[in-house]
Chains A and B, each alone.
Chain A
Amino acid sequence: MSQNNPFSSGSNPNILSSEADPNTNDVEMVTNSQRSVRSSSPLIFGSNSEMDRMRSSPPPQFRQSDLLRSTLGSNLGSGPGSMLDSQSSARRISSSSRRVRGDMGIGPYPQLDRLLKSGGLNSDANNQNPTSELTSEIVTTKRYIWGTTLVVAEASKMFEDFLLNFTMADRIRAMREEDPTVNIEIKPEHEQPFYFPRILKEMNELKIYNLNLNCQNLKSYKKSLPLYHQLIRYPQEIIPIMDHVLTEKLAENSDEYTPIHALVRPYNIGESINMRNLNPSDIDQLVTIKGLLIRVSPIIPDLQTAFFCCSNCDYSMTVDIDRGKIAEPVKCPNDACRASNSMRLIHNRCIYSDKQIWRLQETPDEIPDGQTPHSVSLCCYEDLVDTAKPGDRLEITGVFRAIPVRVNPRQHTIKQLFKTYIDIVHVKHSSSKRISIDENLIGENEAVVKHDEEDNLKSINEEEEKNLINLSQNPDIYERLAASLAPSIFGMEDVKKGVLLQLFGGVNRFTGENGSPRIRGDINVLIVGDPGVSKSQLLQYVHKIAPRGIYTSGKGSSAVGLTASVTRDPETRQLVLESGALVLSDGGVCCIDEFDKMSDATRSILHEVMEQQTVSIAKAGIITTLNARTSILACANPIDSKYNEKLTIVQNINLPPTLMSRFDLLYLILDKPNEFDDRKLAQHIVNLYISKNGINFGNEIIPVEIFSKYISYARNHVHPVINDEAAEKLVKNYSELRQSNSISNRHGEQKTVAATTRQLESMIRLSEAHARMRLSNIVEVGDVDEAYRLIRTAMQSSAIDPVTGRIDMDLINTGFSSRRRSQNANLQKQLLEIINSIDKPSVRLSELHRIFNEDGAAEAISDIEFTRILDNLADDGEILFDKRSQIIRKLIR
């Protein structure tokens, strides 16, 4: 796309050089002076007549309008509908070919138009010249469009060739040439033509005539490479040509008689441009920009066909918009009447098309230091209207345009300023790394409009499905998936497993008619830990990958900000509800950082959200309940900012136990300096900084796209059901859990979070999520076990030392099992015997250790272990252990 300033070279592609014919609303040709940047805009400004102020854009494809026009039955002048060709396909094409898409600005050039009408594109223009309306002009074999290097016939031939013969193998070969490390195999199915006849069939079946054209395909097909460059430089000409070719092909092969008009939507043209770098040299070119949608205007009706009625004789006629203007008939065409200036516009019978204006803001990561985000205006038409809502991250392909700003006639001084905007051609919701919306969430009376964004008409085709199923057969799929989650964070395996299951989620059930509408399947996770253990990083990662994830910080959130706030709509001046974070993350994961610093008022909302999955609002006359079917991933710091081991877990995490029990999984992460671990971690981090392109974490790691596809597939297709054995195991585990927590310390305070029925439900959800992860439709005993293990580790029950009542984190970190613990009890007994057998009243620690290792133990124990055993004995009152002087005294009984 290297361009010299196209303006300085004097080429203004909008200028043609033929004479004007004002009377017919046939294909009109214009002089140089009339065509300017001004009139090439879809919005007209001028002070001539009423019509001009109607700001219409040239008629886009609008299939229905053909039928409408024929039913209106009026004298359409020399509209193309009256041109009856013998070939039915030609009729269908030509009737709609005059109308060009709104996003292409002014219609095609008269030359092009004529060519299209005559159907003379595919063959030599010499041969066909059927209709009488065309002036007989010498038709040469090569027809250029003024100001470009475009040969119309060549371009359409190239595109047709591409459509018929492009194969995925070409694309793969091109990718390999570019980057030799890419190793995708070329399978036999890749050698099939990609577009025809598959697309043809699907389009005709679905009756959707939009082709999302991946321009990388165009680029990698050798013969159409010049077409790719021309597409970017002259989109206004090439895209209609492409439309025409596609329409023809579809029309040839379809049986129906209704007129169709296909739209080609190119995307993925290469690198996306930063909004700040859009400059005048990009005008009228195809660009891609990324951003965050912040504002969407209401749908604006754009006048396409005006309906006039004579006030004298009631004679009616329609006038199409042409190059942004509607020619108001001066005289009544009825021969009997012939009154002048008597035609009235009847707006109810005019035909409009949809238009909407969006405002796209820079994504936060692209904003340079010390600047506020820039935005750009976008204009979308027809099918693309309402496909995105504010807050979405989008990647938009469109034509960059400049139009003059309206001159205020009342001003004494005149300004000539231009406003730039982009006509949208293709909208892509950014980042295929995000999982698509869970269909289970859609209740009976809701509908979700899906908008096709990419090439593949089905989101996951059979082959990929097979791959995913193969992947799930892997015995260690669980570990692999957990490791692939946030691979740059070292360690924290159990936490990752918990979060992984949260992404899969349990099964949502609708109980039907009355009472509580849903049994939730969402899993909530709370991570508490010392600062500096990358909790926030994990949250950020999940936020990136989860669908509709919202990331908020506890400090910065208010109750209102989380739920919904009441504001006044500036246009309609009414009070409206604006969704807050929890409602916006409906169907997704809401990541809340600094959970403990959240105010109590804010936290109280979470009670309702986590249990009933709804948010009740009663303010400013709006009393309603909104859905907030979100999973919550929260992260908190302990009180005192560092985990105080002398306090119990309940005291450390400054949250009311009611709220804590609503969390299915509660993780405690401590930052204990340990040389071995620290060194590994440091190495890991340093490696992160050393390697430049893409860190290779090892073959075990599943890449993000597959990961999200896997999760998406699992959520949509797998609904596991618990079988009998699993049910029994669940009950057994639950009762065990209840019993173990009835230990309280000497003062009778409850030291831990007691298990409630919520824990049982959590176990059910976790086991369902685990089964879903294996893509299995049955929940088995293994799933239940894993869920139980997770809950126990998370609840620290396995870490509570029943003797001292303190949490011993080494147990969690080193993964001691209960077997080990019972072993410890034995060791204790042995040690006590040894101590009692020594004659001296006191003994040094090192000596005792030596004796112990030589005589008693079956395996040597480390210093830490030994010290702990001694501590236990001391607490029991058996010995006196003086840590500072490392002396053990016997207690005389």
Chain B
Amino acid sequence: MTIENFINNPINEIEKIIGNVSVNEVYSFQEPNIPDIFKNKFSNEEDIEKIPILNKSSFKSLKSGTLIRFPCMIQDNGIDSELYSLFHLVKDKNTNEQKVKFFKYQDQINNSDYEYLDSENVQTFRDRQLVYCINIPGHNSWAKEKNNYQNTEEEKEKNYKTINEKFPIKSEDNFGAIIKIYDIDNANDLKLNTVFEFIGILEYNEQQEVQQSFDNFEENMLTSYPIPHVHALYWNKIENNSNPTVDLIKKQLTDEKVIKDTRNEIVEYLSNRFDGDNLIAEYILYNLVSRIYSRVDSLPVGKFSLNICNVKSTEQSNEIYKLIQNIVPKSHYLSLEHKKINSKRLAPSMNCIESLEQGIGLISGELQLTDGTVLVVDETTMQEGKIENTGVMNISILGDLFQNQKITYDFNYHTIEFPADLNLIVLSEAKSKLFPCDCIIPLNNLTNINQDKNIDEGLLNKIRGFIDVMKIADYEIDQELANNISKEFVEKRAAQSKGKTDYTKKILGQDDLLYQLNLARLHTLSHGQTHLTKEFWENTKNLEEQRQKRLDDYVKDKAKNLKTNKTQNPLR
């Protein structure tokens, strides 16, 4: 019962556990808890790492029937559940005897060894749920776990097709599989767009053909497609998506001094990229550390979308994106070219008619991303032109996302809103009118984006680890400080309304207070702390003033430039 046996031939092991079952015992059979047995077997980290990871490259060399790990995102969980029978009667071709075979966790029998017999006597129906999962979209290459599996098989070209409509982002690594869940009671936490790691038995069929029609009671279209199936034994939810090296570093972040130093290093690193601009570095750090930590009355608390304006060109925005890609595990770059926006819907939808052309099940869209992905929207890619119906819808979907962190999925006769938790950054030339962000900060005019010539992996890993840890950290304000803050707010409001009313300036409102509190939280977290102190609060206010000043200067400059342009060409 070695580990290797469990990995290479788990079906065999299961059969050994079940033992021999005779025809009479079939209906009174008590099933042992196989997932628990496997869980216990693979209880320590080393053993778990021995299980091969399933992805596009490793699939080429994995044999059907191996135990695998599949870290993935749930793309579609609206597939009909399947009925199967626990037991089947088969005839062993070698020994020519009949026996009852336990048929859970596998769908196929090897034709050379076994022959199928009429199993009506032993039919015991159970049902299982199907979930379609794909590789994590936007997963940056540094974050992926390297496969440790020693494989003796040579690589074969498997008969495997990708259903392009079911992947949000086009990528070489796109890989999808159907996961069969046997434990239906716990299947409620398998929500859409969440990341799980499934441990189960891989199964695929070499010569599978696709059935076309719906009208007959053929197999479900998706299950008859040549994609691999995984019979899931158990699963874990994955919170962060970094690789193990980073995880190690995270564990080292306990010492106060280490935290402070790391924080300074991070700001230095980021500001070096922006020609020494500390302010931008701070705000970018805030954005990367933010997440939605509660939803009150459909108001997402904790959202912090950032608009970096004064971006001169698309090349600059590409540079900025490359920078971000290196430090967060999941990110995606959304360009807004006309052709793209006008043709494909950004949010997922479902057709009533399933066909190969129209898409099967839930058709994905670029916004079907997991929580915590950094979405960089590049407005500089928008050119002049006409936006048609789909384009309008896409812009409104994006607007909804920015305002409420919700994405509307279209199900033909009705729509459903799914909550999202993406870190939003907009890169634009002027202040973005299309995508109202919480915080706008302009780049300094002479900024070049310096890419890191000699990438120091160690430093990068520290940064990545720090951001990961602070993202899921808790946060508290103690009551006294909270009272002070609210007193301050009320006083400020009163002062504003009493003083000479400048109608252009808005009176401090509810939204402003929320924003300030959020910013304070992010500031605290970015320092690796979990408690707000007076010092941090004051710092936040200072930073905000600096940003506001810079923004005002920028706006003034722009207006001046416009004017000077006008005077230069009086004929225009």
Q: Does B bind A?
A: yes
Distance in Å: Cβ of A370 to nearest Cβ of chain B: 3
Pick the interface stretch among B202-210, B237-245, B280-288, B433-441.
Answer: B202-210
Which of B123, B209, B217, B411 sits near A377, CB closer than 8 Å? B217
Pick the interface stretch among B52-60, B83-91, B444-452, B555-563.
Answer: B83-91
Assess whether A283 is in contact with B110, with CB atoms less than 8 Å apart.
no
Pick the interface stretch among B2-10, B352-360, B479-487, B531-539.
Answer: B352-360
Q: What residues on B are CB-neighbors of A368 within 8 Å? A: 188
**Residues 25-40 of chain A: 1 if any B CB is under 8 Å from the residue's CB, otherwise 0?**
0000000010011100
Q: Please, which residue of chain B has its CB at the minimum distance from the CB of A8?
A: B27
**Residues 114-131 of chain B: 1 if any A CB is under 8 Å from the residue's CB, otherwise 0?**
001011100111110000
Q: Please, which residue of chain A has its CB at the minimum distance from the CB of B192?
A: A370
Q: Tell me, in angstroms, the Cα distance from A297 to B218 when the chains sit together.
A: 14
A294-B352, A415-B107 known; A406 vs B118 contact (CB < 8 Å): no
Is A864 part of the contact surface with B, judged by Cβ < 8 Å?
Answer: no
A280-B83, A280-B126, A294-B352 known; A371 vs B78 contact (CB < 8 Å): yes
Q: What residues on A are CB-neighbors of B408 within 8 Å? A: 556
Is B418 part of the contact surface with A, judged by Cβ < 8 Å?
Answer: yes
Assess whether B192 is in contact with A412, with CB atoms less than 8 Å apart.
no
A43-B217, A406-B218, A556-B415 known; A375 vs B80 contact (CB < 8 Å): yes
**Residues 401-413 of chain A: 1 if any B CB is under 8 Å from the residue's CB, otherwise 0?**
0110110101111
Which of B77, B109, B207, B219 sits near A372, CB closer than 8 Å? B77
Residues of A566-610 whose CB lies within 8 A of B: 570, 599
Assess whether B389 is in contact with A560, with CB atoms less than 8 Å apart.
yes
Residues of A82-128 whose CB lies within 8 A of B: none
Q: What residues on A are CB-neighbors of B123 within 8 Å? A: 7, 37
Q: What residues on A are CB-neighbors of B41 within 8 Å? A: none
Distance in Å: Cβ of A163 to nearest Cβ of chain B: 36
Q: Please, which residue of chain B has its CB at the minimum distance from the CB of A363?
A: B414
Assess whether A418 is in contact with B352, with CB atoms less than 8 Å apart.
no
A280-B127, A372-B192 known; A570 vs B78 contact (CB < 8 Å): no
Q: Please, which residue of chain A has its CB at the minimum distance from the CB of B119?
A: A416
Is A135 part of the contact surface with B, judged by Cβ < 8 Å?
Answer: no
Assess whether B218 is in contact with A364, with CB atoms less than 8 Å apart.
no
Assess whether A300 is in contact with B215, with CB atoms less than 8 Å apart.
yes
Assess whether B83 is in contact with A418, with CB atoms less than 8 Å apart.
yes
Q: Please, which residue of chain A has its CB at the minimum distance from the CB of B191?
A: A370
Is B382 part of the contact surface with A, judged by Cβ < 8 Å?
Answer: no
Distance in Å: Cβ of B127 to nearest Cβ of chain A: 5
Assess whether A375 is in contact with B78, with CB atoms less than 8 Å apart.
yes
Q: Please, which residue of chain B has its CB at the minimum distance from the CB of A39?
A: B120
Residues of B205-263 whose CB lies within 8 A of A: 205-209, 214-220
A36-B118, A36-B120, A371-B77 known; A570 vs B192 contact (CB < 8 Å): no
Assess whether A556 is in contact with B396, with CB atoms less than 8 Å apart.
yes
Q: What residues on A are CB-neighbors of B119 within 8 Å? A: 416
Is B350 part of the contact surface with A, judged by Cβ < 8 Å?
Answer: yes
Q: Tell me, in angstroms, the Cα distance from A300 to B416 when the chains sit together.
A: 33
Is B392 part of the contact surface with A, judged by Cβ < 8 Å?
Answer: yes
Q: Please, which residue of chain A has its CB at the minimum distance from the CB of B116?
A: A414
Q: Please, which residue of chain A has its CB at the minimum distance from the CB of B389?
A: A558
Q: What residues on A are CB-neighbors of B126 within 8 Å? A: 280
Assess whether A570 is in contact with B116, with CB atoms less than 8 Å apart.
no
Q: Tell me, in angstroms, the Cα distance from A370 to B76 when the chains sit together.
A: 10
Assess whether A279 is in contact with B127, with CB atoms less than 8 Å apart.
yes
Q: Tell me, in angstroms, the Cα distance from A364 to B125 when the chains sit together.
A: 29
A294-B412, A371-B192, A411-B205 known; A416 vs B116 contact (CB < 8 Å): yes
Q: Please, which residue of chain A has its CB at the minimum distance from the CB of B125?
A: A280
Is B393 part of the contact surface with A, judged by Cβ < 8 Å?
Answer: yes
Assess whether A414 is in contact with B125, with CB atoms less than 8 Å apart.
no
Q: Tell me, in angstroms, the Cα distance from A5 to B413 when the chains sit together.
A: 37
Residues of B317-354 whose CB lies within 8 A of A: 350, 352-353
Q: Tell me, in angstroms, the Cα distance from A297 to B214 when the chains sit together.
A: 9
Assess whether B205 is in contact with A413, with CB atoms less than 8 Å apart.
yes
Main secondary structure of the interface of A (DSSP, over half): loop
Distance in Å: Cβ of A205 to nearest Cβ of chain B: 38
Assess whether B389 is in contact with A371, with CB atoms less than 8 Å apart.
no
Is B111 part of the contact surface with A, judged by Cβ < 8 Å?
Answer: yes
Q: Please, which residue of chain A has its CB at the minimum distance from the CB of B27?
A: A8
Q: Tell me, in angstroms, the Cα distance from A415 to B408 when the chains sit together.
A: 38
**Residues 121-144 of chain B: 1 if any A CB is under 8 Å from the residue's CB, otherwise 0?**
001111100000000000000000
Assess whether B352 is in contact with A357, with CB atoms less than 8 Å apart.
no
Q: Tell me, in angstroms, the Cα distance from A283 to B125 when the chains sit together.
A: 10
Assess whether B85 is in contact with A418, with CB atoms less than 8 Å apart.
yes
Q: Please, which residue of chain A has its CB at the minimum distance from the CB of B411?
A: A373
Is B108 part of the contact surface with A, judged by Cβ < 8 Å?
Answer: yes
Q: Tell me, in angstroms, the Cα distance from A410 to B207 when the chains sit together.
A: 9
Q: Tell me, in angstroms, the Cα distance from A292 to B415 when the chains sit together.
A: 13
Is A868 part of the contact surface with B, judged by Cβ < 8 Å?
Answer: no
Residues of B66-105 whose CB lies within 8 A of A: 76-78, 80-85, 88, 103
Q: What residues on B are CB-neighbors of A361 within 8 Å? A: 411, 413
Q: Tell me, in angstroms, the Cα distance from A295 to B214 when the chains sit together.
A: 10
Is B362 part of the contact surface with A, judged by Cβ < 8 Å?
Answer: yes
Is B28 part of the contact surface with A, judged by Cβ < 8 Å?
Answer: yes
Assess whether B125 is in contact with A370, with CB atoms less than 8 Å apart.
no
Which of B110, B358, B414 sits near A292, CB closer than 8 Å? B414
Assess whether A372 is in contact with B78, with CB atoms less than 8 Å apart.
yes
**Residues 1-45 of chain A: 1 if any B CB is under 8 Å from the residue's CB, otherwise 0?**
000010111101000000000000000000001001110000100
Q: Tell me, in angstroms, the Cα distance from A559 to B126 when the chains sit together.
A: 48
Q: What residues on B are CB-neighbors of A36 within 8 Å? A: 118, 120
Which of B107, B208, B357, B413 sits near A417, CB closer than 8 Å? B107
Q: What residues on A are CB-neighbors of B110 within 8 Å? A: 413
Q: Tell me, in angstroms, the Cα distance from A720 to B209 when the chains sit together.
A: 65
Is A852 part of the contact surface with B, judged by Cβ < 8 Å?
Answer: no
Most-contacted residue by chain B among A36, A377, A556, A561 (CB, 10 A): A556
Please name 11 pairs of A and B residues whose Cβ atoms are closer than 8 Å in the assembled complex, sorted by A.
Answer: A33-B118, A33-B120, A280-B127, A283-B125, A294-B413, A295-B352, A372-B77, A372-B411, A405-B217, A410-B209, A419-B83
- Beyond A372-B78, A413-B205, 14 additional contacts (C-beta under 8 Å) are A7-B27, A292-B413, A292-B414, A371-B191, A373-B411, A408-B209, A411-B205, A413-B109, A414-B109, A416-B103, A418-B82, A419-B217, A555-B396, A570-B355
Residues of B within 8 A of A (CB): 27-28, 76-78, 80-85, 88, 103, 107-111, 116, 118-120, 123-127, 188, 191-194, 205-209, 214-220, 350, 352-353, 355, 357-358, 362, 389, 392-393, 396, 408-409, 411-416, 418
